[in-house]
Homo-oligomer: A and B are copies of this chain.
Amino acid sequence: MKVFKIPEATVMRLSIYSRYLHQLMEEGEETISSGEIAKGVGVSSAQVRKDLAYFGEFGTRGVGYKVSELYCQLMKILGLDHRWNTIIVGAGKLGSALALYQGFFERGFNICAILDVNPNIIGNKLGSLRVQPLDQLQDLVEQYDIQIGVIAVPATHAQDVTEQLLEAGVKAILNFSPRVLKVPPDIVFRNVDLSVNLEVLSFNLALNR
């Protein structure tokens, strides 16, 4: 399917460029140069051009890029030209916060359901959702045609939940638990490790002392 391998760093920057372009559109900008994008998001202009070059030629030499056009192209490249159905497993503090976060919806992710095992919180209302029991997982994934699973359970249950998500047919997993998970290579997978991020800060703080 993919002819050239795209660096992950490039994909992350494309996401950031697209958000910046969205902001520029709201401010009424019509065209922009790679140098201005670079300045806006804190990279080099060559980097911006190289990132875009993986996918085609979007600009006009001597002029720059049409903001709205480039934005649409990037959204298409990122697969955000349609919506993704998502389920959150774990309705503790973090899971609840993710379920209520508007930013996901705005960028094309529908949070279709949130699940937990704890009977004390099953039934709780979170915005327009209600926390449902974990054993509904398989049914909900089928019913809503869910592609993405988000793991927000304690480390000890993370691998177990992962396997349930895979069995239910989820194609991609975003893991917020502080545990290394085993997933088959055909599954799209990412970790967001909150502690690791704080610890990188700690490491750098400890250096300058």
Complex alpha-carbon distance, A77 and B206, angstroms: 8
A197 in contact with B201 (CB, 8 Å): no
Q: Inside 8 A of A193's CB, which chain B residues have their CB? A: 12, 15-16
Size range of the chain A interface in the assembly: 35 or more
Contact residues, A125-161 vs B (CB, 8 A) = 147-148
Which stretch in A63-71, A90-98, A113-121 binds the other chain? A90-98
Pick the contact of A100 from B6, B93, B109 — CB < 8 Å? B93
Pick the contact of A79 from B16, B20, B100, B202 — CB < 8 Å? B202
A94 in contact with B84 (CB, 8 Å): no
A201 in contact with B180 (CB, 8 Å): no
Q: Give how many copies assemble into the complex.
A: 2
Pick the contact of A1 from B77, B108, B195, B208 — CB < 8 Å? B208
Pick the contact of A194 from B84, B101, B188 — CB < 8 Å? B101
A1 in contact with B207 (CB, 8 Å): yes
Q: Is A192 positioned at the interface, with any CB of B under 8 Å from its CB? A: yes
Q: Is A49 positioned at the interface, with any CB of B under 8 Å from its CB? A: no
Complex alpha-carbon distance, A171 and B86, angstroms: 37
Contact with B along A198-209 (1 / 0, CB 8 A): 111111111111
Q: Inside 8 A of A84's CB, which chain B residues have their CB? A: 202, 205
A198 in contact with B19 (CB, 8 Å): no
A175 to chain B minimum Cβ distance, whole angstroms, is 10
Q: Is A72 positioned at the interface, with any CB of B under 8 Å from its CB? A: no
Complex alpha-carbon distance, A107 and B200, angstroms: 12
B194 in contact with A190 (CB, 8 Å): no
A203 in contact with B93 (CB, 8 Å): no
Given known contacts A2-B207, A200-B15, is B103 in contact with A93 (CB within 8 Å)?
A: no
Q: Inside 8 A of A172's CB, which chain B residues have their CB? A: 201, 204-205
What 6 A-B pairs are tightest by C-beta distance, nearest first?
Answer: A79-B206, A97-B97, A93-B97, A79-B202, A15-B199, A188-B204
Contacts A15-B196, A79-B203 given; 7 further ones with Cβ under 8 A? Answer: A8-B200, A15-B195, A19-B178, A40-B180, A42-B182, A78-B203, A94-B97
